[in-house]
Structure 1
Amino acid sequence: MTRRDAARNWQRIVDTGRAFVAEQRPLRLNDVAHEASVGVATVYRHFPTPEALLETLARPSLEDLIAYAERTLRDDDPWLAFTGFLTAGIDAQLADAALQPVFAATAHELPETAELVGHLDALAADLLDRVRAAGLLRPGVEHADVVRLMCGVVFAASVHATPAERAALTRRYLDVVLDGLHAR
């Protein structure tokens, strides 16, 4: 097999995996192999576990969120930077179905995923610290609170809305949460 064949197979597996996740189908590697028209061994050679494939699917969105967070840390208005980052995170989770399960995982299959998630978490903590230092955050709110609230916003909008309603409902829920986080 040539490198070009291997790259083509990798892309077919990734594209098929993305379709599975977008359609909320279980990410079973044997099923992915069948639909990608590649051998099962080929899929397992590239992605030893479904989690490895899922994390590979989420990687571009993680990298985009990191770049966004790094840009917002340079923003002069800490509250706008913080809320902009949370909004971008919500939008990313709505746009990329692979992202939420990667965020929810307690451990990661791929070392690079753990590194990306850790870096993103540190940037989010920095944004939160800036808001706190500016006196704009309700007292007692911790980083873990914000993480759980954002997961809750996405979950609530996913469970209680049609796909067409999700974006607007998620923004509405996010606005309510941000109003509760903002110091008066």
Structure 2
Amino acid sequence: MSTPPLRKDAARNRHRIVEIARRYVDDGRPLQLNDVARTASIGVATVYRHFSTPEALLEAVALPAIEKLVRRAEHALTEPDPWMALRDFLAAAIETLLTDPAVPPVFAAATDSLEHTGDLKRRLATAFTELLTRAHAAGVIDSSVTEADMTPLMCGIAYAANVHSALDPTERATHGLRYLNLLLTGLHRP
């Protein structure tokens, strides 16, 4: 059952709340609903009506980047070359993790506050499984590498790139992509 569309004023308020939260996240400030309400010049009750927890608001901030990553994963499945498909998806994932500070904590969370977040994570996991399976079947990646191996490796790459915290996100992403290429060189079976 779908939810009815928001009234125009409610939609404006929701947009404003997410916009302010986006700024908080990008600035590295804690995402507190009362602070967001004050900055947005919106009543606290209105913020809580839209987002019952800071985690729900953080997910709303991260959703556009996660949706884009899901689209990239699903597009990678149309790539005829299994190695290129896997490599391009992993590069998109690293870039997303390093350029959008809202995404890593949403992926790391044990539970999801918004149903849509869980749906997107499942779609992403399904696409990644298929990409890795295709790469294994084509013999272009070490057959011993599992999905369970790739998650900490990707987290390690993001961590290593974030060591360069003085760099802007684009520069950190460049480092992350370099580290990913080094990892993939070791996993690739030409």
Scaled by the length of structure 1, the TM-score of the pair is 0.93
Q: Does 1:81 align with 2:85?
A: yes
The one-letter code matched in structure 1 to 2:124 is L
The corresponding residue for 2:117 is: 113
Which whole-Å deviations, capped at 9, do the CAs of 1:34-91 have from their partners, x for residues lacking one?
A: 1111111111000000110111111111211111111111111100000000111111
Q: Which runs of 5+ in 1 are unaligned?
A: none
The corresponding residue for 1:180 is: 186
The corresponding residue for 2:12 is: 8
Task: State which drifts further: 102-111 or 74-83.
Answer: 102-111
Q: Per-residue deviation at 1:111?
A: 1.5
The one-letter code matched in structure 2 to 1:180 is G
RMSD: 1.5
Question: Taking every aligned residue pair, what percent have the same amino acid on both sides?
Answer: 50
- The answer to whether the Cα contact below 8 Å between 1:93 and 1:100 also exists between their aligned partners in 2 is yes
Q: Per-residue deviation at 1:175?
A: 1.0
The corresponding residue for 1:160 is: 164
Q: Per-residue deviation at 1:99?
A: 1.1
For 1:29 and 1:159, how far apart are their aligned partners in 2?
29
For 2:165 and 2:31, how far apart are their aligned partners in 1?
23
1:50 to 35, 51, 54: 54
For 1:14 and 1:161, how far apart are their aligned partners in 2?
25
For 1:123 and 1:146, how far apart are their aligned partners in 2?
14
- The answer to whether the Cα contact below 8 Å between 2:157 and 2:179 also exists between their aligned partners in 1 is yes
Task: State which drifts further: 163-172 or 144-153.
Answer: 163-172
Runs of 4+ in 1 over 4 A off after TM superposition: none
Q: Per-residue deviation at 1:139?
A: 3.0
- The answer to whether the Cα contact below 8 Å between 1:139 and 1:183 also exists between their aligned partners in 2 is no
The one-letter code matched in structure 1 to 2:108 is A
1:70 to 74, 78, 82: 74
Q: Which runs of 5+ in 2 are unaligned?
A: 1-5
Which whole-Å deviations, capped at 9, do the CAs of 1:132-175 have from their partners, x for residues lacking one?
A: 11111113111011122111111211123422331221111111
Task: State which drifts further: 172-181 or 17-26.
Answer: 172-181
| Partner-residue secondary structure (3-state), 1:163 | coil
The corresponding residue for 2:3 is: none
- Once the two structures are superposed, the pairs formed by residues 136-151 of structure 1 within 5 Å of their partners are 136-151=140-155
- The answer to whether the Cα contact below 8 Å between 2:18 and 2:61 also exists between their aligned partners in 1 is yes
The one-letter code matched in structure 1 to 2:39 is E
The one-letter code matched in structure 1 to 2:173 is A
| Partner-residue secondary structure (3-state), 2:152 | helix
Q: Per-residue deviation at 1:94?
A: 2.4
